[in-house]
Amino acid sequence: MTESESVVYRVVPKCACSTIGQIMFYSDHGEFFDGDIHDSKDRMHKWSQEDSQPLIEANAQGHKSYAFTCVRNPYTRVLSSFFDKICGIQRNGRRYRGNMVPQLVQKYGIEVGGDDGKQEFDQIASFRRFLLFVRDTIRFRRPMDPDIHWSAMSGHVSTFIVNGGRYDKIVYTETFNDGMQEVLDAIQTPHKVDLTNIPRFNESEGHGPKRLHPVEDYFDDLSKHLIWEIYKRDFQLFKYDFENPANKFPIAEIDLDEVHAKLGD
């Protein structure tokens, strides 16, 4: 939530969250946060900051401010998680979550492009093995609990509703400027934001190897079966095209009443 309480945003990892955070920061302060917005400790309310919690809770439950979140096609989101978190070297110069990647290499036969993530490897075979791991973490919580970057978006989105919040808008990453403009048009901010001049703060870009093939090449019948098992609710609620991985765009409008009804249990 912005310090001015102009807007409340439920973060969904791998869905333009760095850019949205920076836009919110800018709308309050007229400047961007210097560094990764996820590292900021003040000038913005976050649930991870204890002092912010009662303020966010009161605002959300009283629906005092416009509230939104942002979603992304499940096919491209899980691919992005693979290249960034599994194959990539993180900002601290190390692998994501310490010994997780070596464990995946050993248990699932995943290749990640060597120690620096820059060597050639069979991206498609490795990604499909990663999907088995994702399914195991989500269905069986083994060999670890699911990670926020590949757990279903509906799970992230639902916590806000279950705790008494209500969304005014769900933005699509794929049509980001249009959706974000709607949010900005609906709120009053101390500083005006011109979206055409906002850089994309893709904090994960450049961490991992470049994707070499079109999205659809990574998903055979078995992969699609696994994807449906893991992300069925995301496809249904956020109206993405399960049948055609090549189509990253939604195929219908999100029904906010449906989202609140189905995720409010």
Q: Domain residues of the chain, as ranges?
A: 75-147+209-230
**117 contacts 87 by C-beta, under 8 angstroms:** yes
**45 contacts 55 by C-beta, under 8 angstroms:** yes
CA 77 – CA 14 distance, rounded (Å): 6
Tokens at residue 30, please?
């007229």
Q: What type of residue sits at position 201?
A: F
CA 142 – CA 104 distance, rounded (Å): 12
Q: 10 Å Cβ neighbour count for 258?
A: 12
By the 10 Å C-beta count (0-12 exposed, 13-18 middle, 19+ buried), 231 is classed as buried
Give pLDDT, residue 118: 78
CA 263 – CA 37 distance, rounded (Å): 28
The tens digit of pLDDT for each residue in 166-221 reads 999 999 999 999 999 999 999 999 999 999 989 888 766 666 788 999 999 999 99
Q: What's phi and psi for 172, nearest 5 deg?
A: -95, 130
CA 36 – CA 38 distance, rounded (Å): 5
3-state secondary structure of 44: strand
Q: Is the pTM of this model over 0.85?
A: yes
Q: Of 155, 191, 188, 157, which is closest to residue 171 (Cα–Cα)? A: 157
- Name the CA dihedral angle for 94, 139, 125, 202, rounded to a multiple of 10 degrees: -40
Prior bond to 146 cis, omega within 30? Answer: no
Tokens at residue 168, please?
């005014």
What percentage of the chain reaches a pLDDT higher than 90?
87
The tens digit of pLDDT for each residue in 18-72 reads 999 999 999 999 999 999 999 999 999 999 999 999 999 999 999 999 999 999 9
Q: Of 78, 107, 90, which is closest to residue 219 (Cα–Cα)? A: 78
Give pLDDT, residue 155: 97
In eight-state DSSP terms, residue 206 is: T
